[in-house]
Structure 1
């Protein structure tokens, strides 16, 4: 016995520690130490409980508290295992504090207190039968999940109510399916003597009446229910999905032979299809939803208890999802196990999970911004869906960038996770290439979860050095032929190298105007670049000469190396290029670098002609876009651009400047800055330079237009 004090020690409550040892069950006795019975005033005896050293000197009749009928101290109770025919003994008698064990309300309010075949008055807590009855009364259909009453909340009850309604509707639809539809084949073979032609024998025709069983109605009903379940709260969704899985797993195909009616009408095709959807969703929920551990285990145990038909055996272990606190998983996430395998009782155990589980884990870790854990997990986990896993692993470099480790991200693009896979660089798009270079250049990343999200950018770490950046950028181009032959990628490379490492929050770069380095420096970089580029193509770990990539001219050296790489690309892959103008525009105000490229192209006549033709075609097709661009860039840029081409020693290259000048002349109403361009020509002395007959004529014509105004 244990004493509890109550109401300033005016009384003592004695509660039994072990209900089984008490003859009164859960009865409560109140003992008042201040009120002595008349008998005890004459003779007081001490009652001592030696086991717990409690001394009771005074007592009185207990106040009757609310209690189950079998604990009533006023009316005796007879116990039987499952007697429901009629009340036993005086079990129907009640006091005003007796409660029904099944309904959990006052016995006087119980509608089935003495109802034959129910007789709640006979219920007690020592019978498995009555305990099951109580659980079902309080938990409803949720009792099938073996849930404790303390586990059941409003969400679970709501899911149970929807599940019960669905089961009733499903029963009606399933019975329709079992009844089938009688179909008369258009042609049947006659087996009578004499034998009639096919389809003309009435006897064989009546025998050939076939019953077709179409599961489409059931499939549609289950699909609507699953759609509804996905809109509910996680606990309700889980209950509804598990209940639906149990119901459809018990469905049988009454057809004696295979009936190929389609994926929704054939039960043996439709049920696996539905189970695939159910198990995939449940796998994700077990990872993403923070179910209590006991509820998590009961959901898994319930699914494992479902007796699956032979055509659904593949789903037997679908919900054996590794919990987050599993030893193998936690050691991988913490970086203590990089291989994803361990030896258990002499047997190797691998971190293997189905793709939906992997996707869900990645989603949850990304939501928590645990990017390093995402990388460790994706590098270690294994899956039978190699293509799906490869798609997830292709995001490892981005997650490394999000964690601020740009150097490891650059290496991860070029090196596969294992020797059997190809590198991520083989599959990145031109837009992804641009985003990666922007991240490497600035040390900033998109604030969103995906690298393709437009929005704010945030700084997370130091950017790559120029020497490392140019090497990694060129290696990416050499590893992916579609990138290598895409002018957008080359223009991106030039644009990134010609920008500062400061990035606006909107993600816009700040272009730099680099001063033209000395000619001997340019020649030194060009001389060393041929060997460097060949080594980069061969994927050799190249060390850039410190004399070239000095702290003072590293930006210029990178740009010259990129120019040499573009030149080599044009010599080999010019026929594959679809544009060249955007590459020329990417140089921005660094016209010295663009001139360096054009001068080297003039040594190969066919390369020069092909490049010029590409630029002229681009200018012709993009006149409106170019006029708008020039409006934004201003007359200083346009003048530099025109002078660059008009002063080229090769007349073919001058045609680009002349064509550009004609576009401006024909659209003066769209070029309010054209007069300033005329002043630029005057200041540059363009009219007096030896440009050639055609160039002199067009420049003079343009200048005269504004002089005569």
Structure 2
């Protein structure tokens, strides 16, 4: 330390050198005395330069020293006596102070210390070489945080805030727990029955004999702890961790004073309420240890503190709840990097597994997804093991979506069909019809929702090349054949047809762009139908098949996919018509590709019972959904409505023609909301409906409709 230059005066005595590190001071205190006027052995004065070799310090140009703030034991004015833990009374002249003496325990001026000479406390005797006084200092400065074994350098504003809230809670909890220990005695007429089965008050002989027994209800304590935990969840991570851990220690100390088991409910019975509270505390702490970037030292001290809690017998199941491996754990790291796909390794001759609790797994997945590390999510979920089989299975069901987020659509489709564990069926058995549609949309377009969930309604982004049509139709049918609930759901079939009839380029709003495909030659249609029969049977049998390359190498691959879908729908109707709840949405899914819908209806006309069932379904849907259909026709326009009506009016089977007539009646009855209806007249003229055989019902209704507009 260098002092500034000054004129030397005769009364100068010494200066004070303050060391930066008390622990490394060779003299045992925080000051070093140097006398600049001290004579040398030869009687000559020392030069202006003073060198202390032991401290490796050089002093030049000394001036009259000014006393700096210092601990009492370092005071050069008053002598100090050291003992290990004397608190009875001040030793020697330890109580004497100068105006710069500080209290070692309180860390403030000795003149302001209220316990400087207080008997049994005597802070004047405190010094830094005593373990006892160091602990007193740590407790005074750290408060309740001292029980976490935190260094003063670890404590920041968040930790101190959490500690302050914890102290207040402990005080309130002590009052409420004391009330619980007192208990209450219920009057005989109001005494509850604690037996099973529960009887009305006064009718249970066992409870009647216990009228004098005191009832201990933990509800008040449970409510107070719950309120505190609610508050903790709103605090910053460090403060919240302190509050959760402190609460866990306090409730673990609570005892049930009842001599016999009292079944008072999950909040009033201590042995039920405490595990319930600990479950909430440990679950939240598990997630925090994964999601929050606690310093490694703090992370370990939190875990060590929880392990030091002496848990009662009814809470032994929580003993290892916070044994959460850090992100840099060796086995976890190798799994995330793809170096270990099994999640197990041999260590000292024993097999070690990556086994974690469900809240920990959920938190890891959440953090990895937030960082868009979807490949790591997939590796982790495939390798990790958990005692909550259903919870882990639900998380693994999202693996296909995470694969889509990486652009690996083919692997995503395969993962839908094959279970990761032999204890569970494939994810396809559990996906919903809307999820089925979203998967097909992703496969078709090579795009995914930008958000974290596949059902997010926000924007979509392109992440890779879309599936080829031949691969898409095969994987889509495999999914349908793998799940009975999907196979019998009309929404899934309408989604399949709609996706196949759409472009693989998304519109700016994330919607699909429907295609109007030209009807292919009849020979091509017959060829695809002939080839698809055996193909569909092999797909049902889960045989790995290849679609005829001649069909999909042509320019008509879109049309070929629709024809195969028509054949698949036809087979489904022949076998499972009784389970179908609607057919109208399947018909509407064809959009402007009426040739494909006509192909389906023509093939159905050969099976009388199927045809009648389909017609009844469509008529029922049209009757129940008139408002929806009118709104849809308003958006699609007269061209679409005209083709839709003509398609059914011109069917060779009279039963199917009734659908066209019913549609025409709906329009006629609602002309006030169908301003486009007059344009249908020209369409009917061009389609030749006016020239149908006279006397037929169709000719009569069409002529009546046209004449109505001609008179206007």
Secondary structure of the 1:213 match is coil
Specify the alignment match of 1:500 in structure 2.
503
Specify the alignment match of 1:657 in structure 2.
660
Is it true that 1:354 corresponds to 2:353 in the alignment?
no
Q: Structure 1 residue 470: deviation in Å?
A: 0.7
After superposition, what is the alpha-carbon deviation per residue over 1:215-264, rounded to whole angstroms, capped at 9, x for unaligned?
A: 11111111111111111111111111111110110111111121111111
Q: 1:691 to 1:515 in 2, by over 3 A?
A: farther
Specify the alignment match of 1:78 in structure 2.
81
Specify the alignment match of 1:538 in structure 2.
541
Residues 178, 254 of structure 1: 8 Å contact kept? yes
Q: Which moved more, 1:208-217 or 1:9-18?
A: 9-18
Specify the alignment match of 1:275 in structure 2.
278
Specify the alignment match of 2:418 in structure 1.
415
Aligned equivalent of 2:617, options 614, 619, 622: 614
Aligned equivalents of 2:20 and 2:210: distance in 1? 76
Specify the alignment match of 1:42 in structure 2.
44
Is it true that 1:144 corresponds to 2:153 in the alignment?
no
Aligned equivalents of 1:675 and 1:481: distance in 2? 45
Specify the alignment match of 1:382 in structure 2.
385
Q: 1:7 to 1:368 in 2, by over 3 A?
A: farther
Aligned equivalent of 1:590, options 575, 585, 593: 593
Q: 1:209 to 1:344 in 2, by over 3 A?
A: same
Specify the alignment match of 1:524 in structure 2.
527
Is it true that 1:23 corresponds to 2:34 in the alignment?
no
Specify the alignment match of 1:339 in structure 2.
342
Aligned equivalents of 2:62 and 2:43: distance in 1? 12
Q: 1:17 to 1:612 in 2, by over 3 A?
A: closer
Residues 52, 58 of structure 2: 8 Å contact kept? yes
Q: Structure 1 residue 357: deviation in Å?
A: 0.6
Specify the alignment match of 1:575 in structure 2.
578
Aligned equivalent of 2:560, options 546, 557, 560: 557
Q: 1:636 to 1:75 in 2, by over 3 A?
A: same
Secondary structure of the 1:458 match is strand
Q: Structure 1 residue 55: deviation in Å?
A: 8.2
Specify the alignment match of 2:127 in structure 1.
124
Q: 1:546 to 1:9 in 2, by over 3 A?
A: farther
When normalised by structure 1's length, the TM-score is: 0.92
Q: 1:708 to 1:331 in 2, by over 3 A?
A: same
Specify the alignment match of 1:679 in structure 2.
682
After superposition, what is the alpha-carbon deviation per residue over 1:614-666, rounded to whole angstroms, capped at 9, x for unaligned?
A: 11111111112111111111111111111111111111111111111111122
Aligned equivalents of 2:627 and 2:60: distance in 1? 107
Q: 1:218 to 1:63 in 2, by over 3 A?
A: same
Q: Structure 1 residue 5: deviation in Å?
A: 4.9
Aligned equivalents of 2:580 and 2:592: distance in 1? 24
Q: Which moved more, 1:588-597 or 1:107-116?
A: 107-116
Q: Structure 1 residue 21: deviation in Å?
A: 5.8
Secondary structure of the 1:454 match is coil
Aligned equivalents of 1:139 and 1:18: distance in 2? 20
Q: Structure 1 residue 695: deviation in Å?
A: 0.9
Give the number of aligned pairs. Answer: 691
Q: Which moved more, 1:354-363 or 1:691-700?
A: 691-700
Aligned equivalents of 2:600 and 2:693: distance in 1? 22
Aligned equivalents of 1:515 and 1:475: distance in 2? 27
Secondary structure of the 2:31 match is coil
For residues 202-217 of structure 1, the aligned pairs below 5 Å read: 209-217=212-220
Residues 185, 210 of structure 1: 8 Å contact kept? no
Secondary structure of the 1:555 match is helix
Residues 173, 217 of structure 1: 8 Å contact kept? yes
Q: 1:572 to 1:206 in 2, by over 3 A?
A: closer
Secondary structure of the 2:504 match is strand
Q: Structure 1 residue 20: deviation in Å?
A: 6.5
Q: Structure 1 residue 450: deviation in Å?
A: 0.9
For residues 180-219 of structure 1, the aligned pairs below 5 Å read: 180-183=183-186, 209-219=212-222
Secondary structure of the 1:240 match is helix
Residues 28, 64 of structure 1: 8 Å contact kept? no
Secondary structure of the 2:351 match is strand
Residues 2, 58 of structure 2: 8 Å contact kept? no
Aligned equivalents of 1:584 and 1:496: distance in 2? 14
Q: 1:279 to 1:16 in 2, by over 3 A?
A: closer
Q: 1:317 to 1:571 in 2, by over 3 A?
A: same
Aligned equivalents of 1:29 and 1:432: distance in 2? 80
Aligned equivalents of 1:54 and 1:265: distance in 2? 69
Specify the alignment match of 1:424 in structure 2.
427
Q: Structure 1 residue 164: deviation in Å?
A: 0.8
Aligned equivalents of 2:547 and 2:332: distance in 1? 41
Specify the alignment match of 1:191 in structure 2.
none
Aligned equivalent of 2:705, options 699, 702, 707: 702
Aligned equivalents of 2:210 and 2:577: distance in 1? 75
Is it true that 1:173 corresponds to 2:176 in the alignment?
yes
Residues 351, 381 of structure 1: 8 Å contact kept? yes
Aligned equivalents of 2:384 and 2:542: distance in 1? 28
Residues 84, 122 of structure 1: 8 Å contact kept? yes
Aligned equivalents of 1:281 and 1:16: distance in 2? 41
Q: Structure 1 residue 510: deviation in Å?
A: 0.3
Secondary structure of the 2:537 match is helix
After superposition, what is the alpha-carbon deviation per residue over 1:54-82, rounded to whole angstroms, capped at 9, x for unaligned?
A: 88899788653321111122221101111
Q: 1:566 to 1:31 in 2, by over 3 A?
A: farther
Aligned equivalents of 1:467 and 1:707: distance in 2? 50
Specify the alignment match of 2:449 in structure 1.
446
Residues 184, 214 of structure 2: 8 Å contact kept? yes
Aligned equivalents of 2:496 and 2:694: distance in 1? 32
Aligned equivalents of 2:57 and 2:156: distance in 1? 41
Residues 18, 31 of structure 2: 8 Å contact kept? no
Residues 532, 542 of structure 1: 8 Å contact kept? yes
Q: 1:51 to 1:600 in 2, by over 3 A?
A: same
Q: Which moved more, 1:665-674 or 1:386-395?
A: 665-674
